[in-house]
Structure 1
């Protein structure tokens, strides 16, 4: 029986591609039964246009998820796995809802949409979660390190989940982009996986070898310095008091939480397979539109490519006239083709020179990366985001917001293997 999936903050479908494939793999054990994509800051919903074009017959919703939860909650079907990559925001607890609906944060903070779905599903809440965020989540905010992640862990603990997490750099496991993101999996307290964690005598073994993330993405070693802590209790207290006054976050790049208690350690990746490179993802020169090639005058002009990519030590001035010393190191220019690419950013598109855009040399000419190449670096199908009305700059923006789908595929395959041996599989809510 396929694992029923709800995909939130779907973007252009990275989680769906990782779990189902595109086109759908014959051996896919996942079925996305409902998805949602809404970009609050734009009038035209470009990502939603792409999603609906690629999955025209899907049960997809292009409305504000907060409005759906408030006014159309019954349209969200029961499901086994909830997935989503949501923005890193301020997750502090802001207020208490009346009528015993629980605790929420600020409106527009999308973690609380996830929490609301889990809470309101009550007896039918999903058995598993797979979520993704930027790795700074583990250290945010700067004035109370680790509070945001602690609030999330406490929320999931109160809802009856165990959680394991790992910061994964895709390139360290042979994928073509150096993109670091924190992935975390959660397991409801009536699943076999939850019970296995509960019965594990040395829980660091789960992080080292026994866990789902450790199996999908092996580690060479874990640090002997194991940190322990607690996120059990009232969310307001966690929000206001967790790690208050401490300089560093207690959360390392790997960890496990169950029954409100967490352990966390530093890990080093282990991988000895083939490694994909930026050069291996380039299209042939004759396929590249002329607009992507860089004119020589743009390389050498003031504040051109050479300047922006180069080292700097200079005096700068604020709008108020305050002068300060500014310095930064040289970036590799053009980008090395024999290594994985740097992280794709949302500002990758457009002709203007930039310190952070990729520039490659091909057949003696410098050029920017095309949308197809950016898709390949995130392991999307070629031209997945190509659509009338969608500019190349917007396609680059999509890839700056996307995840490396190869990570989702590997996590999904391992999770599916574990679920298949779950003695309660046939009792999916």
Structure 2
């Protein structure tokens, strides 16, 4: 009997693949295997929905799954791909057959160096609910790591009136993605909203004293906290794939069509996948929500229309909501180079454009400027000149 398409992982990439298969007219069995017991949910709301709101935003309801004839196997942990036999082994001892396999298991939060009550990472719904419980009635939060997750949690906590200290070993944490000058603007955003920013500082110790937490920093400061969020990046869980025969190199290696080079009927999407990008001439993992959706649509099309393959050649894109700023990032940015910048006030809008050695727009950064974001992404995808898009964004017509 045909095994149909088996999707491992109820991530946005996995669920969008299942949906897209039906949209493409696939009539065979579609099964999603998900390790968590919850209905598949969206990850961005975990750090963007207010702390008094529900962070569980389903990607697929039970009713939708029935309507689309998508089987959900929740609480099922995949432990081995037997690629030669077209089989997936689960931790409960069962084995599932497949015709096509899509790996969409995403990434996990990098483990915290500390553990105990009140100390959290944020990657799953259970993490989000535990954090919200810790912050109910809390007065002081320590955030370790000033990346997107840490910055967004700090923003949510300040909106709830919680005092926040944010710590990062880098003097200008966001300089690694937008350069020093713009990174300073993002650092100042925390301070303007009342966050105590301890950048260029590390946590020396987190101790539980009389059932409460006490933080000691490398600058010698000590203070009590009610909760700690550790946002120090993500890691891939590839151990269960080591015996599969798949090529693993900081992810599951795929061609521009989403197929693994080892088995044409095995595909990968989302954070765990490392696709070849023709425009850049290299393979890369792109840990962004939009990329996972676009990859899912591409893989679904290619499974259904194997004689009319589509390539996915993305312009990397990510967004972040911090305080009253909507931040969007595009493409690749040489942070050692000075970008072209357009800034407006009342209300604040900002756009920065990076260019390659031939003057083509290669990357962008915007704040509170949706139209500029669309224009920048299109220009980067088309290989258009950076100075032209800079001139267009600087015109009075665009300012309106």
Fold shared by both chains (TM-score > 0.5): no
* Superposition TM-score, scaled by structure 2 size: 0.28
Q: As a proportion of its length, which structure holds more helix?
A: 1
Higher relative contact order, structure no. (Cα contacts within 8 Å, ≥ 6 residues apart): 1
Q: As a proportion of its length, which structure holds more strand?
A: 2
* Superposition TM-score, scaled by structure 1 size: 0.26
